[in-house]
Amino acid sequence: MLHLIWYILVGLIAGAIAKTVMHVHMTIFWTIILGIIGSILGGAVTHMFSRPTNARFHPAGLIFSTLGAILVLFLCYKLRIRFPHV
């Protein structure tokens, strides 16, 4: 259960940073979803290049989660996919 709360919290932080950088307005639900998708992409990239020393935490997790969320927003912008906004 604590892992789900952690994923939502990291997703919210990464999504909020990404939507601020890309100047996108969206609801908090879509911000969390965006951050979680960015975390999956960022986690896949970081695990391809270096494994974490312990099995739970990768030092560059939040950074690559944010970069993954920015990439998702950029692709949505190029493909003209719109999120529900406030």
For 34, the domain range is 2-78
- Decide if 84 is inside a domain: no
What's the rounded Cα separation, in Å, for the pair 38 and 18? 9
- Decide if 42 is inside a domain: yes
- Decide if 85 is inside a domain: no
Are the beta carbons of 4 and 56 closer than 8 angstroms?
no
Of the chain, the percentage scoring pLDDT greater than 90 comes to 19
Decide which of 51 and 22 is more confident: 22
What is the pTM assigned to this prediction?
Answer: 0.82
Nearest CA among 76, 84, 64 for reference residue 22: 76
Whether the per-residue pLDDT at 3 is higher than 80: the answer is no
- Decide if 23 is inside a domain: yes
Structure tokens, 18: 């990404």
The pLDDT of residue 86 is 66
Nearest CA among 21, 31, 24, 48 for reference residue 10: 31
Whether the per-residue pLDDT at 82 is higher than 80: the answer is yes
pLDDT, tens only, 40-81: 888 788 778 777 666 666 666 788 889 999 999 999 889 988
- Total structural domains within the chain: 1
